[in-house]
Amino acid sequence: MINTGDTAFILAAAGLVLLMTPGLALFYAGMVRSKNVLGTILQSFIMIALISMEWVYLGYSMSFGPDVGGVIGDLSWFALNGVTTEPSPDYATTIPHTVFMIYQCMFAVITPALITGAFAERVRFGPFVLFSLAWAVLVYNPVCHWIWGAGGWLGSRGVLDFAGGLVVHLTCGAGALAAVMVVGPRKNFGRANFMPHNLPMTLLGTGLLWFGWFGFNGGSALAANEIAAVAFVSTHLGGMAGMAMWTLMEWLRDDKPTTLGAASGAIAGLATITPAAGFVGPNSAIIIGLLAGLCCYFAVSFKNRLGFDDSLDVVGIHGLGGVIGTVCLGVFASKAVNPGGADGLLAGNPDFLVTQLFGIMVVGLYAFIVSWILCKVIDMAIGMRLDTDSEMVGLDQAEHSETAYNT
């Protein structure tokens, strides 16, 4: 039976998650050079059209439709056939099924958008769109089904992921890693400085992302109940602890905390708490956030030495965050906090930690391999990269015949 409070909550949450995509667009666009601003923004925005369309005619049914052998949903929900305002028996039983569908749609939209940070400032729009579509179908939908779909094999084995540490952050991180390996670094990478062109824009994006994350994690309780409260609180605490730790590290090591550092730490903390949000208590959430800030800070600095051009640190922040969060869930999960969850290592249940590690391995490998093949095939077939001149001129003019700023 439909509950108005739960319905209001998930509709609001769906709106919040939608807002994260423009938020991400600004977060990323602020960090690129001014000649690539619009191209960067569009790479995120276009996902709203591309993936929402895919979701209605393919994605939702593949991800949440009637299970086929634990690996995928069949296509009987094509065009939302049978997805009505009646609550689904399997998912979110107190709200219209369509509300659950559209809420999940927003997750499917932002995940490939997250990848774009990795190959920023250098890929062609057409091949990029093709890649993102294929990636959604071949990586996101299956993994989503394995973990969240009724009958999905990883979920059945007890792998937990509250709001997308594996489904969203690890898949996009692994995809990013593969894409960077195929696409290669920007021209003059290492020689020239690629300074962010507008950090206030990045901070605005951070604010919108944080705000949206309450819908992303809080809404994953699928009802306005105690679990939503747990998830909302750990989300905020994870994010703030990530910010605290990253800025602290900068303070200690460069004796200057930075604004971008605060933003990066916050996103790291929010991404890392995501899989654990509804399963851990506030103090665990803070520890997870602190770990996120610490590890991602070092991962990102280390990458710089590696000369690996994951331009906006999708691997170092989202990929790593997804892994750490999923591991920490195995450690800190507690049925005292969420009876529907699990007990982790500290609650004397090492098996669950192992299960989580298994989940990480499977999802990480699968996402990386498929992404790499996809990217390689498209690159060989039609070429992912802009030619050098276009890269010099910038995405905005070369790919979109637009200029971000005119005086």
Tell which positions 244-273 bind a second copy, by CB under 8 A: 244, 247, 254, 256-260, 262-263, 265-266
Tokens for 35, please give them. 């000649």
Q: Is 98 in the site for another protein (CB under 8 A)?
A: no
Task: Tell me, letter by letter, the H, E, C secondary structure of 102-156.
Answer: HHHHHHHHHHHHHHCCCCCCCECHHHHHHHHHHHHHHHHHHHHHHHHCCCCHHHH
Distances from the Cα of 155 to the Cα of 130, 256, 358, 376, angstroms: 29, 44, 12, 30
In the complex with another protein, the residue whose CB is nearer, 89 or 407, is 407
Choose between 68 and 199: whose C-beta lies nearer to a second copy. Answer: 199
Among residue numbers 288 through 327, which ones bind another protein (CB under 8 A)?
A: 297-298, 300-301, 304, 313
Among positions 185-214, residues that touch another protein (CB under 8 A) are 188, 191-193, 195-196
Interacting positions 244-273 with another protein (CB under 8 A): 249-250, 253-254, 256, 258, 260-261, 264
For residue 228, the partner it binds in a second copy, another protein, none, with Cβ less than 5 to 8 A by kind, is a second copy
Residues 55-74 that bind a second copy (CB under 8 A): 56
- By rule CB under 8 A, what count of residues binds another protein? 28
Which element (helix H / strand E) includes 72?
strand 72-73
Give the SS3 label for residue 17.
helix
Using CB distances below 5 to 8 A depending on partner kind, what does residue 259 bind out of another protein, a second copy, none?
a second copy
Q: How far is the CB of 145 from a second copy (least distance, A)?
A: 21
Residue span 353-392 as binding mask against another protein, x where in contact by CB under 8 A, dash where not:
---------------------------------------x
Q: How far is the CB of 254 from a second copy (least distance, A)?
A: 7
> Can residue 52 be called a binding residue for a second copy (CB under 8 A)?
yes
Instruction: Kindly list the distances between the CA atom of residue 9 and the CA atoms of 100, 109, 222, 267, in Å, as whole numbers in the listed order.
Output: 11, 20, 8, 23
**Residue 169 binds: one of a second copy, another protein, none (C-beta under 5 to 8 A by kind):** none
- Closest distance of CB 304 from a second copy, Å: 15
Residue 392 interacting entry, from a second copy, another protein, none, C-beta within 5 to 8 Å by type: another protein
Query: Which span sits near a second copy by CB under 8 A: 146-154, 306-314, 370-378, 399-407?
Result: 399-407
For the CB of residue 394, give the shortest distance to another protein in the complex, in Å: 9
Spatial contact of 391 and 187, defined as CB atoms under 8 Å apart: yes
Nearest distance in Å: CB 23, a second copy: 7
Q: Give CA–CA dist 115/318, Å, rounded.
A: 9
Nearest CB to a second copy, comparing residues 211 and 302: 211
Residue 229 interacts with a second copy (CB under 8 A)? Answer: yes
Max CA separation in the chain (angstroms): 63
Residue 392 found at the interface with a second copy (CB under 8 A): no
- Whole-Å CA distances, 171 to 74, 277, 371: 22, 18, 9
331 CB-near residues (< 8 Å, 6+ apart): 344, 345, 346, 353
CB 57 within 8 A of CB 149: no
Residues 116-135 touching a second copy, rule: CB under 8 A, are 125
**Closest residue by Cα to residue 324 from 275, 368, 367, 262:** 275
Give CA separation, 60 vs 14, 150, 265, 316, in Å.
15, 12, 32, 29
The smaller minimum CB distance to another protein, of residues 4 and 304, is found at 304
Closest-CA residue to 94 (of 3, 10, 224): 3
192 binds, among another protein, a second copy, none (CB under 5 to 8 A by kind): another protein
Q: How far apart are CA 198 and CA 207, in angstroms?
A: 15
Nearer to another protein, 67 or 391 (CB): 391
Give the nearer residue to a second copy in terms of CB position, either 53 or 380: 53
91 touching a second copy, by CB under 8 A? no
Contact 363, 107 (CB under 8 A): no
